[in-house]
Chains A and B, each alone.
Chain A
Amino acid sequence: MLSYISGRILQSILVLIGVTIICFIMFQYMGDPALALAGMDATKEQLEETARMLGLDRPLYEQYVRFLWRAVHGDFGISFMTKTPALQLVLKRMPATLELAGTAMIFATLIGGLVGVFAAVKPRFVASRLAMVGTLMRITLPTFFIGILSIYFFAILLGWLPPFGRGDVIGIGIWSTGLLTVSGLKHLILPALTLGMFQLSMSTRVIRGEMMEVLAEDYIRTARAKGLSVLMVTLRHALKNALIPFVTIAGLQVGQLIAFSIVTETVFQWPGMGNLLLMSIGQNDQPVVITYIMVIAFIFVFINLTVDLTYCLLNPRIAYD
């Protein structure tokens, strides 16, 4: 077990180093950073000076080591556009993305859980069958189309909810939250539902599958036979056991949510990290793109590691070599 955990941690570190190497290679092909930083009308001397300042005249491996050294110290360079530290820019956008993804996750898990459990307990109900067809339908509509349709109906035609932006935010320390103001909450509803839809069908299907498996077990019949109500058996005995595999899958879904929030943020002009990424790609703002990739890679590796270790702790029966 201990060797499994340490091996897993070592693997995560190797993945992160791999990502830095890939980033470094990819960005050799993404335009000249000296030109981007010095500006279009810089003289030849100014360009050389900037290149020397950025260390571009050094051999590649030395540039990479420098890049890695700085990255470990939280220095990913200065944004070409805003001339402020790239890491700061990305981290400033993080609360918006995490609040969006978190709300979407809660929504998807709660609704998906309810529908999934119901569909498993009463599989022959018309409502259950409709729900399962619905989950299949959902996979067919691209996220961006759902977002646009919901804006058209709820914001433009009905005028119930604001179409884009994040509304008023309150700063608590370094975290700026939109969850504490009415306008912030109103702005959150449509994007969170759109993003959550993506996970909803998945949650429903997983919960339903796990529940049906557990409900077929002998101990469920025993519990019913000793006189417990259906509700009691479903919640106390079945759901509890169906939740374990679900939690691990839900953990992995957080990563998917953060990735797909790029689309939702673009549609709703939500000021999160994904929005910043697309803007920076458009403007060739290399340091910001690198920082985004590294931050996201870190989040993913962290989630995967946590999920694997949790799974390892929850399932002592599985032998790890």
Chain B
Amino acid sequence: MIDTRKVLRHYFKSPTALFCTIIILFFGVLAIGADWIAPDNPYDLRTFSLSDRMKPPAWMQGGSVAFVLGTDDQGHDILSTIIYGLRTSFLVGFGVIALSTLVGSILGLIAGYFGRLIDAAICRIADVMLSFPAFLMALLLLGVLKWQGEIPVILAISAIFWVRYARVMRGNVLAEKAREYVDAARSLGAGHLRIIFSHLLPNAVSTLFVIAAVDLGMVIVLESTLSFLGVGMPLTTPSLGMMIASGYNYLYAGIWWVVLFPGLVLALLILAINLLGDWLRRELNPRMQ
């Protein structure tokens, strides 16, 4: 079990953890409040026009205050697209984490608790899944099925990401199952579900939490990469990766702002998530203390 109080006390003393939280929260607020915060809705056909295309940032010659960070080749305001793109990133990130944790935990619990044939079957599938990179699997699934958008990307990435949660859960259950208190609970007449939910699950949560924190950054990178390659989000959905891809075509013409701003935002967000995840991993890993 984790000592929540101690972790919180360390948390408020760690400048890195606090700073990362502020960055993540800042981007999170932008993403949630995009409808009110963004200067305009970049994908609403009424609000952008091709005559505004390729405007440089406001402080450069030819820039205008209406488009603080400039516009891309379609006339979308870059600042607004970044804000709406963050929403997509967060949505996919948390979607994958939620789905993978759910599916992984359930399969891991079943495998660890019931053992035998079910265990063997789930473990073999997990082995095979882990031997192929998540990125390749997601790319092929999305590319071949020609299915774009938030939900398909969440499903395609989760198709691989559940495996680690299942393995950790299974390991935890196997270790906890052998403890005396589980025998005691059973002899008191507790059923399978009761043992799983009130005894086995709470003990495995902290490990899953750490994996989720580390995975979040990876999922956001994956989504942007898939969108960059043109198999992630459709053209009608704002995404940081897709914006970088469209800006890349014009980089040789000296138009750097379409690539640089979304890229920096993406990098900053992932850095904050990874540093926080790393902090959490060290904090919750008993062997590191």
Beta-carbon contact of B131 and A282 below 8 Å: no
Beta-carbon contact of B136 and A296 below 8 Å: yes
User: Does B278 make an interface contact (CB < 8 A)?
Assistant: yes
Chain B, interface residues (CB within 8 Å), range: 35 or more
User: Which residues of chain B come closer than 8 Å to A255, judged between CB atoms?
Assistant: 131-133
Distance from A185 Cβ to chain B, minimum over Cβ atoms (Å): 23
| Interface stretch (choices B40-48, B107-115, B138-146) | B138-146
Q: How many pairs of residues, A versus B, come closer than 8 Å at their CB atoms? A: 96
Bound-complex Cα distance A137 to B270 (A): 9
User: Which residues of chain A come closer than 8 Å to B271, judged between CB atoms?
Assistant: 137, 140
Q: Is the interface of B mostly helix, strand, loop or mixed?
A: helix
Distance from A46 Cβ to chain B, minimum over Cβ atoms (Å): 25
User: Does B11 make an interface contact (CB < 8 A)?
Assistant: no
User: Does A241 make an interface contact (CB < 8 A)?
Assistant: no
Beta-carbon contact of B230 and A282 below 8 Å: yes
Beta-carbon contact of B136 and A263 below 8 Å: no
User: Does A141 make an interface contact (CB < 8 A)?
Assistant: yes
Distance from A268 Cβ to chain B, minimum over Cβ atoms (Å): 11
Beta-carbon contact of A144 and B274 below 8 Å: no
Bound-complex Cα distance A297 to B143 (A): 17
Beta-carbon contact of A144 and B136 below 8 Å: no
Distance from A100 Cβ to chain B, minimum over Cβ atoms (Å): 16
Bound-complex Cα distance A267 to B263 (A): 14
A262-B229, A281-B144, A281-B231 known; A256-B133 Cβ under 8 A: yes
User: Does A142 make an interface contact (CB < 8 A)?
Assistant: yes
Query: 18 other contacts beyond A156-B252, A304-B131, with CB at 8 A cut-off?
Result: A18-B128, A27-B144, A30-B144, A136-B275, A142-B224, A142-B225, A142-B241, A144-B244, A148-B248, A152-B256, A156-B251, A260-B135, A262-B135, A262-B229, A278-B230, A289-B143, A296-B136, A300-B132
Q: List 21 A-B contacts (CB under 8 A).
A: A15-B128, A15-B131, A18-B128, A26-B144, A26-B145, A29-B145, A137-B271, A140-B217, A142-B221, A142-B270, A144-B224, A145-B263, A145-B266, A145-B267, A148-B251, A156-B252, A255-B133, A256-B133, A260-B135, A263-B225, A278-B230
